[in-house]
Every structure is written in C-alpha cells, then in structure tokens.
Amino acid sequence: MASDPRAPGADCSANPVRDAITAPAVSVVLPVRDGERWVRRAVASLLAQTERAIEVLVVDDGSTDRTAAFVAAIARRDERVRLLQGPPAGIAPALARGVRAARAPLIARADVDDWSHPERLAAQRALLDARPDVDVVGCGVRSVPRRRVAEGYRRYDAWTNAILSPDAHRRTRFIESNVPHPTAMMRRAALERAGGYRDPPWPEDLDLWLRLHESGARFAKVDRILYLWRDRADRATRADPRYRRDAFIAARAHYLARTALLQRGTTIVWGTGPVGGRLSRALESHGVHTVAFVDVDPAAHGRTRRGAPVLAPACLDDARWAGVPVLAAVAARGARDSIREALSATGRVDERDFLVVA
C-alpha cells in the first residue's frame, strides 16, 4: 500500500515550481523584439519541459507591440517566468543582460519564434551531468515549416546534426557555427571564463563559440532533434549585415590569426575561389601572409593569386612547403573530406598542420 503523505515524518513541503524559483538548475535566456505573434508558444514550450527546475528570462529588447504585456501575463501565472525590459540594444547586449540576471549554474538559449521539445532541457542537463569535461551542449535541430525551408538550411541542419563529439565540434569550428545558437545549454562558469556575450561586427554566436574553444571549452550534442527552428524571411541570418558572408570571413580571420598554427605569420590556402581569396585578404590585415595557393585544376597551376603561386596538391610534398600550415577553404560539397585525405596523405595532421575553414 502506498504511504500516506500526511503521515508523521512525511515531507509535505516539496513544491517543484517553488523550488525551481528559489534555486533553478537552468536559466533559459530568450531575447525578443516585437515577437507578440510567437512569444506565448515559445515560452509555453519551455514551461512544459520535463526539467522543472528552470527559470525563463524573457529579455524584451525595446518591443513596440504587445510582447511585454503577453509575457507579463504569463509571469503572473507562473513565477518561473521573469520579464526584463529595456530600450533596444541588439541581441548580444540583450543576451548579456539576461545572463547577468540569471541565477542558475547552467545557461540555456531559446528564440522567440521557435519550439523546444519537452525533453530538450532534461536531456541536455543529463549530458552535462554525465560529462564534466563538456561545457556546451546543443541538440538536433529541424528547420520549419518544411515546405518553405530553403535547400541551404536543410543542408545546414543535416551538417550540424551530424556533429556530435567534442573532437568533431573542434575540427569544424571555423567552418560555420556548428551549434545552432538557440539550441545551446552551457555551463555559466565556462561562459564567464570566455568573456560572456560581446557585440562584435560578425555573428555573436560564432564569436562566442570561437572564444569558448580558445578558452579550452568542449562541445557536444544530444543526438536527438529536440528543437524546431523557424525559417522566416526576416530572420537575422537573412537581414542583419553581421550575418553576411564577408562578416563570417572576418570572424574566421580574426580568430584564426590567434591560433598557434598561424603564429609564424604564413599560411598556404587550399582554394583559389571567392572563399579562399577573401580569407587570404582578411588574414593579411592580421599579419598572416599567404605564401601559396593550392588548386586541383591543372589550368590554374603555375599562375599566381594575389601575388602567390598556385600549386598542384602534389607540390605540397616539396620540402619548401613542408612546414607551412595549410587552410582548406573550399566550400564545394565533398571537398572537405577529400582535402583532409590528401593532406593526411602528406603526413600532415589536422589541427597541428592544417585546418578546414570552409
């Protein structure tokens, strides 16, 4: 027979919602501006989490619609929701404000027009509890509505969902933001060690991920699709100039120039297309000079690119180029794996002698 909760010695004081309010395990930071259409559904998906020890900090970044009123109404019904209001400052300052107000040792992200599976936060917290060596955990993502999702976003979903281990995250860190930002959960201590959120002239998530990698943080992913990501015409990745291709290249160059691999100030760029050329130019501004380019097209061999010779891949066996680090900057599908194989065949080691950056 089940014990009587009213019996002497029974703990009748337990209240999961109250306990979550006083000592949350996870603080979810959700920045929003003019999100009245989506905010109630996004917050509802967080309050429905099986992980109950949470607080949801909705940072209203200068909304002019009914966003604040909707969130305030939710907060009156569920004290785990907190509304932070301020004048418009941008997503990075809004995130920084949310983190400052957060009380939990784990910081999770969510966006206003997206939806979190009920088991998302519990699964991510469980991975962090099981892996003390891991500091940032993402999860599988699916862009919606599927009938309108562009092929590029479908490919991105498949690419990022396949990156699961800390080693895989590190090897791909310069290619793209390999943890979709709103899917992340991170240890607050690691976030603070890396300097927290900053407001750079490129994507704030890529900037944070690269600083976290610099600080020694390790990344992993829950191998389940636990986040639905809404593809809209006005999403920041389409509309904000900080998400343009040149901004991504500027971010890569900034952090590549700080790696031990490029400390000697020279590199070989594998790729003579737009990505390789732009990256080479951006690296020059940080004092890293491209001494040669590599191209698989025989018609390009013997030519020059930005004053440097264009080599055939076989030329990398020459002693002249043996100690020069290589950056693989070819974005064509399948090129990354074939370049890795070719460089490994010359005795070069990923991270030590070369990096894949596109």
- Looking at the chain, the whole-number percentage of residues with pLDDT higher than 70 is 92
- Cα 318 from chain centroid (whole Å): 38
For residue 322, give both structure tokens.
Answer: 């043996």
Read off the pLDDT of each residue in 57-83 and give the average, rounded to a whole number: 98
Asked if pLDDT for residue 33 goes beyond 90, the answer is yes
Determine the pLDDT at residue 235.
62
Give the model's confidence band at 8: pLDDT under 50 very low, under 70 low, under 90 confident, else very high. Answer: very low
Separation in Å, CA 38 to CA 53, 89, 216: 24, 20, 36
pTM of the model: 0.91
- Per-residue model confidence as pLDDT tens digits over 240-286: 788 899 999 999 999 999 999 999 999 999 999 999 999 999 999 99
| Paired sense of beta strands 304-305 and 308-311, if any | antiparallel
Measure the CA angle with vertex 151, ends 255 and 269; round to 5°: 35
Domains of the chain, CATH where assigned: 23-243 (3.90.550.10), 245-356 (3.40.50.720)
- Looking at the chain, the whole-number percentage of residues with pLDDT higher than 90 is 87
From CA 1, how far away is CA 159, in angstroms rounded? 52
Chain mean pLDDT for the chain: 93
Determine the pLDDT at residue 274.
93
- Per-residue model confidence as pLDDT tens digits over 103-128: 999 999 999 999 999 999 999 999 99
- Per-residue model confidence as pLDDT tens digits over 146-200: 888 989 899 999 999 999 999 999 999 999 999 999 999 999 999 999 999 999 9
Sheet holding 326-328, edge to edge: 304-305, 308-311, 289-294, 266-270, 326-328, 354-356
The total of other beta-carbon atoms located within 10 Å of residue 82's CB is: 18
